[in-house]
Amino acid sequence: MYNTIDALLKEIQSGEDSYLDFKIVNFKGKQIYFSKEKATQELAKDLCCFANSEGGVIVFGVRDDGERIGIDKDKISNLQQFIVNVSQNNIEPPIGHLLIFDRILIPDSSGKEKNCLKLEIKKACYNIHAPFGKRPYFRIADHCYEMTLEQQVRYFEKRGMLTPFEERPVYTAKKDAIDKTLFKSYYEKFYEIDMDEVEIPFNNLLQNMKILTQDETGMLYTTGMGLLLFSNTPDKWISGAYVDVVHYRSTEPDIDNQVDTKTFSGNIISQIEKSISYLELSPYFPTRAQKNGHGRIDQPAYSLRSLQEAIVNALVHRDYSIQGAQVRIFIFPDRIEITNPGKLHNSLTPEALFAGCQPVRRNQMLAGFIRNYKSPITKRSYMEGKGTGFLSMVRECVKVTGRKPDLNIIGDSVRVTMWSKYPINK
């Protein structure tokens, strides 16, 4: 926007409008001031205004009447760092990825060149942004206004904020966050074609599969789904994208009675496989043998298939937009609890699930990918895709242990409890 000095100067002479704003910058020691309002609050509001509207440009070093006053050349770096800090630390969600800086020399009314800083703010396509503790703002002409609740709803719809987390870009994860070896292994196995024979450019292929997506500036970023499936360190970019396992010797969670703790990271398939393997080898997962007329019959304490279903559901259908919350597996002498962040999706209730209601899945595209994987332990697909997985899990539990699992909503999370056929009294 205004990519030449002549074009920018022409707009400055026309005055502030919906796309252009001026700011005089004053430095007092390490402090930065724009006007009577605190610089941090004023800047956060203005950045949100432009991003939530159609984008725009702020020229620092220009007076409200359009006169170019300039900025001390040695202070421009400090100003730029201040802007970055505000964009990342004083706005929710952060807005730094939408900013483009350009140091410019522009003549004042007498023809003398002045050092100024041009800041372009791109239009936000996936979010509406707000200063911490404030409502979102939008810009009309040369003024910013707080959004009403009704306006926020409309902006949510326009911005695609109803787009599932799995399809949205993770702005801290560029395209190189994808492990090409992981993707190649998946693609060649399930599409039965050598990657070298694929005619579509690699980045285009990833975009077509919703593994990568473009932001407002055309920059490629990895989607939430892409990180979960094809990054070896998804928790680096998605807070809480891992599994915590705690093994207790008591029937209640007590740090003094912890037998073992594990954290399973890696891509989502790795987390599933590590979790199932750990549970299978737990001393609280005994298998007893009984003899009948047909020979020996093994009777395990839990249904491994049911545990697989519960773990897969917890990881696939959890709410990844809840920051800092992970899937937790607690192993007790009499039960196993699997808890995931996020309530049941789309107003679903535990009663409806037990009654056989066809669920509307959270993260449906991710679930589609997971259906292509099969457990090396149970030899069953991780997801069947028929919407009957929960009832199958219940039937398996009853068949093996004689007891249905419990399903409870605990705050903003869902907990599945499976009871042991051979509870150990502790």
pLDDT, tens digit, 9 for 90 and up, residues 7-27: 999 999 999 999 999 999 988
Q: With bands split at pLDDT 50, 70 and 90, how would you rate the model's confidence at 386?
A: low
pLDDT at 387 over 70: no
DSSP H or E run through 329: strand 327-331
Coil, strand, or helix at residue 228? helix
**Class of the 243-419 domain?**
alpha beta
Per-residue pLDDT band for 155 (boundaries 50, 70, 90) equals confident
Average pLDDT, the chain: 90
Residue 138's SS3 state is: strand
Residue ranges with strand state E in 147-265: 169-174, 212-214, 220-223, 243-248, 258-264
pLDDT of residue 296: 64
What is the per-residue pLDDT across 221-238, written as a single tens digit (0 to 9) for each?
999 999 999 999 999 999
What's the rounded Cα separation, in Å, for the pair 287 and 301?
Answer: 6
Domain boundaries of the chain, sorted by first residue: 5-158, 165-236, 243-419
Fold entry, domain 5-158: 3.30.950
Q: In whole angstroms, how far apart are CA 368 and each of 13, 238, 317, 363?
A: 55, 20, 12, 9
Structure token pair of residue 79: 């100003």
pLDDT digits (tens, 9 = 90+) for 347-362: 788 888 888 777 667 8
What is the tens place of the pLDDT at every residue in 259-302? Answer: 999 999 999 999 999 999 999 988 878 777 666 666 566 688 89
Local structure of 65: helix, strand or coil: coil
- Scanning the structure block, which residue is given the tokens 């107003």? 347
The yes-or-no answer to whether 5-158 and 243-419 have a common fold is no
Q: What tokens appear for 289 in the block?
A: 């043998």
**pLDDT on residue 348:** 81
